[in-house]
Amino acid sequence: MLVHPQFDPVAVKIGPLAIHWYGISYLVAFGLFLWLASLKVKQPQFAERGWTRRDVEDLLFFGVLGVVVGGRLGYVLFYVFPDNPLDIFAVWKGGMSFHGGLLGVIVAMMLYAWRRGRQFFEVTDLIAPCVPTGLASGRIGNFINGELWGRAADPSLPWAMIFPQAHEATPVPRHPSQLYQFALEGIALFVILWLYSKKPRATGAVSGVFLIGYGLFRFIVEYFREPDRELGLQALGMSRGQWLCVPMVLAGIAIWWWANRKKALKA
């Protein structure tokens, strides 16, 4: 049985200035997006449509706004509201929601597509394969902070881990679910999307696969992740995160089917 290393959440401290590992994980995520998206726009299906590195930089700006604003609003709406609606302003308490961040990015990409006269799904097909590595970086940040730990695990599990941050009278070995999410939502989803998008696909198909893949992987990992204490398990023994993944997967299937059917009708 392992014990969480209890990393110092502060990576660097210079006088009153403290740089946290979680903040660094966000910078790494944005840097990886910039690099991968710059590679993507060189592929024929995007280069021939006039995509450039400058477009990628603008996408990153819009995406950051969407992630930060949407992630915070989503956390409060999905996990805190209506009990503590004013927590939306209590940013010092932390709290971000992936599903809220996704909605924020969707709105930001709609605005970007409208301003640039591009199809919405053309934009999301470009960014979708570049997102999972950022998710992976964020999960490493969660692990370093010792937050979002997993459910109780069999003590015989070789990687079962004690999280002192749980402040339990009797320490419970738990699944390091942050690392499960790193492996599935981050690395596995990146490989799937990157390989799938190497060939030209129907506009919207890559976006659909992203929604399906993330939704399924997150749904699976939620069986190993400790539910939010205030919410617990809900209908059918599923967590709030799992219920949020259901419409995500259904939407992904619908978008993928629509994209390929539209392409087939044009053929």
Binding residues: 139
d(CA 62, CA 107): 9
The answer to whether 150 and 226 are in contact (CB under 8 A) is yes
With 0-12 CB in 10 A as exposed, 13-18 as middle and 19+ as buried, what is 152?
Answer: exposed
Query: What is d(CA 233, CA 228) in angstroms, rounded to the nearest whole number?
Result: 8
**End-to-end Cα, the chain, rounded Å:** 58
The Cα–Cα gap between 252 and 19 comes to 37
Query: What string of DSSP letters covers 60-101?
Result: HHHHHHHHHHHHHHHHIIIIITTTSGGGGG-GGG----HHHH
User: Are the C-beta atoms of 30 and 59 separated by less than 8 Å?
Assistant: no
